[in-house]
Structures are given as C-alpha cells and as structure tokens.
C-alpha cells in the first residue's frame, strides 16, 4: 500500500516537472517591473487591454496604466544590430505565450508589433 502511494507521488512529481519544462521561454523585458504581478498579467492582460481600448476609442482617454503601445515598447526584443523584433514573431514575447495557450489575439491586425524608433537628437 505504501509502495503504491509512493509510486503515485513520484509519478505526479514527474508529470509536474515535465509540465514545467514545457512552459514557454520568454525574452527578458526592458523595464524594471510590469504594471502588475506576473500572475495577474498572465491572467488579466486581455481584459486590461480591452478595457483600455474601449476607453480610448469611445471616450478618447489615453495614457492609462494598461497600454498595448507600452507593452510592445518594453517586451520587443532586439537583433544584434539593434532593430526591434516584432513581439508576435515565433519565439518572441507575445507569440510564445499565445501559442502555448492556443489563442490567436487580433491586437496586431491594427497595432504595431515593434516600438516606434526613437529619433536621434539633431546636432
């Protein structure tokens, strides 16, 4: 009986370890910290962005805490030449999680997938 219980525990631990190994690998963000804890962002970012979209489109409110533009600016990785890699490219921040979760958001049908380049100061 004890042997079966121990075997069951070991099997569950092995399954948990293999599940953890399958989680997506995300490129490091540029900012110090996100606007919310990671668990909150994973769970609630679609609602946050949808709410901000509605406020912006219907009421003209800009600059709120949850901004897709700011998400892209922080989470877009760069090539060795310093060019931004689109966040929805395979292996990049947005695409990695969305592929893992088997969802296809429509954000980037309208929105930019890379931050706007910063213009160098004129001399």
| Domain presence at residue 52 | yes
User: Which range of residues forms the domain containing residue 67?
Assistant: 25-109
Given this model, what pLDDT does residue 117 score?
A: 76
What pLDDT score was predicted for residue 20? 54
- For 81, residues 6+ apart whose C-beta sits below 8 A from its C-beta are none
| Domain contains 8 | no
Summarize the confidence of residues 92-121 as an average pLDDT. 85
Other C-beta atoms closer than 10 Å to the C-beta of 10 total: 10
**Torsion angle (degrees, nearest 10) of CA 96, 97, 103, 104:** -50
Query: Residue 53 corresponds to which tokens in the numbers above?
Result: 């979209």
**What pLDDT digit, counting tens, does each position of 51-90 carry?**
888 888 888 888 778 888 889 989 999 999 989 999 999 9
pLDDT of residue 45: 92
Residue 83 located in a structural domain: yes
Q: Packing angle between helix 68-75 and helix 38-59, nearest 10 degrees? A: 140
What's the pLDDT band for 121 if we cut at 50, 70, 90? very low
Bridge partner list, 84? 78
Count of structural domains within the chain: 1
What is the mean predicted confidence (pLDDT) over 26-47? 89
The answer to the question of residue 18 being in a domain is: no
């Amino acid at each position: 009986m004890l042997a079966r219980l121990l075997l069951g525990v070991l099997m569950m631990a092995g399954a948990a370890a293999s599940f953890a190994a399958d989680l997506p690998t995300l490129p490091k963000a540029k900012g110090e910290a996100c606007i919310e804890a990671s668990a909150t962002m994973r769970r609630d970012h679609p609602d946050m962005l949808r709410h901000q979209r509605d406020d912006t489109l219907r009421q003209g409110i800009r600059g709120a805490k949850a901004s897709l533009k700011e998400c892209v600016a922080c989470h877009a990785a760069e090539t060795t030449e310093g060019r931004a890699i689109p966040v929805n490219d395979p292996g990049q921040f947005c695409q990695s999680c969305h592929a893992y979760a088997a969802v296809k958001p429509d954000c980037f049908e309208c929105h930019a997938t890379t931050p706007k380049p910063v213009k160098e100061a004129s001399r």
